[in-house]
Each structure stands twice: as C-alpha cells, then as structure tokens.
Amino acid sequence: MNAHDEDRMKKLLQQALPPVDGEAGPDRDLWPAVLKRLDAKPAGASSGWAWFDWALAVGLVLLVAFFPASIPVLLYYL
C-alpha cells in the first residue's frame, strides 16, 4: 500500500464515519464520582454485616464465659 492508497483509504474512512453532532462528552470528569461510588458501596454493605458479626462474637464469648465446659468441646472441633 503506497502513500496514495493510504490517503484514499483515509478519505473513504472519513466519509464512511461522519463526525458526531453535538456534545462530544460530559462537561465534567465523571471518573471521581465513579470511584466515590465504588468506595461507598462496599463500606455501606459491610457495616451492616459487621454489626451482625460483632453480635455473633459477643454471643460466643458469653456462652464460653457462662459455660466454661464448652471450651474443650469447641476446641475438639477446631
């Protein structure tokens, strides 16, 4: 493919793909908002579960404290 062919191909491509009318994109950078949303979503979801996990841990400690006989049984299965 020589230079003439390349120019011809370029013109044909430009004719086949007309320029986009109107705004080419948003007027502001959207990437920081995407990052903020990605960061916020797992934190919100995990905080609810964190309370549940803490409740389980407290229940486990209370059971072991009130029934020390359960300690060797639990260790046996660990």
Partner 1 sequence: MNTHPYLRAYLAGICVPTIVLPLLLTFVVIRLVNQVPIPVEQVLIFPMAVVPLLWGLWNMLWLWSAPHTHLPIGLHGAVLPVLLMPIGALLATCLGVLAIGSHGVTWFQAFHVPYTLIAPIFLAALAGYYLIWKYIVGFLNRALGIA
- Name the residues that contact partner 1, by CB under 8 A: 53, 56-57, 59-60, 63-64, 67, 69-70, 72-78
Nearer to partner 1, 12 or 58 (CB): 58
Q: What is the dihedral of CA 50, 55, 56, 57, to 10 degrees?
A: 90
Residue with Cβ nearer partner 1 (33 or 74): 74
CB of 46 to partner 1, least distance (A): 11
What is the C-alpha separation between 56 and 50, in angstroms, rounded? Answer: 10
**CB neighbourhood size of 72 (10 A):** 8
